[in-house]
Amino acid sequence: MADADALGDDHTTFIRFEGMPALSHAAVQLHTAGIVNSIQDGHPGFVSDGYLNAIAAETTTTVLELEAAGMWERRDGGYLVVADDMLKVTIDFNEKTDRLEAECAQRGEHLPSDGDDESGWVTCSHCTIPLKRPDGGPVALPGGGPLGPDPRQ
């Protein structure tokens, strides 16, 4: 590991976001991943010890950095995300998409946007779910349904 300095260690690369303290790359990554996971886990804004233990990366130093920066606070069984601007944005986005998708499901059909032929992509103009795509990835199920299985998997 003699070359670690030359290659640049994650903890020595500092990024600055508006209104946020200077944080290392690793801290920003963990903050973001923790927020996304907390929402998927059904407890937005709470990053559980279980999650931190499950991810492969060494998180102890990074968590300490987020704590020291006042972004995360220790609670029973995990950390509360205090700097939650990103959390709000992510939740708002998820809720909006969920609501629009529910409206399409109720209507029983998506509303294909037109004029996307050149790119090969057709998305629902209401909920933005892909209806046709050139990359073979998942598209909406019939009848205004949610995203189907990914045939590439």
Nearer to Zn ion, 35 or 127 (CB): 127
Give the chain's largest Cα–Cα span: 62
Among 30, 122, 124, 139, binds Zn ion (CB under 5 A): 124
Among 126, 131, 138, 145, binds Zn ion (CB under 5 A): 126
Nearer to Zn ion, 50 or 143 (CB): 143
Nearer to Zn ion, 31 or 110 (CB): 110
Nearer to Zn ion, 63 or 127 (CB): 127
Q: In the complex, what is the shortest distance from the CB of residue 148 to Zn ion, in angstroms, rounded to a whole number?
A: 13
Mark residues 84-113: x for contact with Zn ion by CB under 5 A, - for none.
--------------------x-----x---
Sign of CA dihedral 136, 137, 138, 144: negative
Distance from C-alpha of 153 to C-alpha of 150, rounded to nearest angstrom: 6
| Residue 25 in the binding site for Zn ion (CB under 5 A) | no
Residue pair 96/63 in contact by the 8 Å Cβ criterion? no
User: By rule CB under 5 A, what count of residues binds Zn ion?
Assistant: 5
| Residue 127 in the binding site for Zn ion (CB under 5 A) | yes
